[in-house]
Amino acid sequence: MIHLSVNINKIATLRNSRGGNIPDLVQYGKMILDLGANGLTIHPRSDERHITRTDIPAVKKLLSDYNKTSADTREFNIEGEPSARFLDIVLEYLPDQVTLVPVSPGEITSDHGFRFPEDVKILEPLVDKIKQKKMRVSLFVEAGVKNISIARDIGADRIELYTGPFAEAFDHSPQQAEALYQKYVQTAQEAIGAGLAINAGHDLDHENLRIFRNLPGLEEVSIGHRLLSLAMAEGLSSVMNRYLTALAPDS
């Protein structure tokens, strides 16, 4: 079963645009869990343009409380740049999974992955500190990344494949996306061979997932922007059902 972790950054973005607490991040997070999500993802950026530092304990408590009464554990995934600031956050709140993502100054959203061995020097000491606290580590990479075994060598458990190019290709032509998808398959197979599990995220939706869900070794997808954008038109319950159905192997 492929897990769906819903990124709730956009709920915080809407709230921050007006101030106050509407929409309520925790209320919407609980609704998403009630509708079948396997976990929640947040990306607390340094400029706090969506998730703020003060949001994190509330989301942590939501998941902790939810898991006390749920038959299935719902996971907490925090993603962010490899920095002392971000390390302090994850060591304080101890999520189930830490997804390290390269961040460029001024970027609107994540748009590239780590490279090996170029990024080992900055990644290795952070991964070591995170693993000491028994948290799973995933590294954000692009399809076709070279030397993927180095990710495992420095202690990572998973890679998260950056699926923006695949989603953009699908928007133009499903056939074009199918051709690009083979590059993701090759990278996934190399990662599996190196002992890494596979996550994926960025602009995946209920349509392009019908291709991408077949990726070898795919454990989890992290989706926020497209899911929540469609929910504005169709309602959250309908859209969560669409995504969970798209991830089901027999649909």
Among 43, 81, 160, 206, which one carries the catalytic annotation? 43
Mean pLDDT, range 170-184, rounded to an integer = 94
pLDDT reading at 119 higher than 70: yes
> Rg (Cα) of the chain, in Å, rounded?
17
Q: How far from 208 is each of 83, 171, 184, 225, CA to CA, in Å?
A: 33, 9, 14, 14
CB-CB neighbours of 110 under 10 Å? 21
Indicate the number of domains in the chain: 1
N- to C-terminal Cα separation, the chain: 13
pLDDT reading at 59 higher than 90: yes
Among 3, 75, 79, 142, which one carries the catalytic annotation? 79
**What residue has token string 């133009």?**
172
Question: Does the predicted TM-score (pTM) go above 0.75?
Answer: yes
Cα gap 42→40, rounded to integer Å? 7
- Name the 3-class secondary structure at 67: helix
- What CATH number is associated with residue 226? 3.20.20.70
Provide the pLDDT for residue 195.
98
Residues shown for the chain:
251
Is 81 known to be catalytic? no
Range of the domain at 96: 3-247
Among 54, 51, 35, 53, residue whose Cα is nearest residue 43: 51
Cα gap 248→105, rounded to integer Å? 37
Model confidence band, residue 73 (pLDDT cutoffs 50, 70, 90): very high
219-232 residue pLDDT tens: 999 999 999 999 99
**Among residues of the chain, what percentage have pLDDT more than 70?**
97
Least confident of 72-76, 91-95, 101-105: 101-105
Provide the pLDDT for residue 106.
65
Is 79 known to be catalytic? yes
pLDDT reading at 110 higher than 70: no
**What residue has token string 């993802």?**
41
Provide the pLDDT for residue 109.
67
Provide the pLDDT for residue 108.
60
Is 43 known to be catalytic? yes
Provide the pLDDT for residue 70.
85
Average pLDDT, the chain: 95
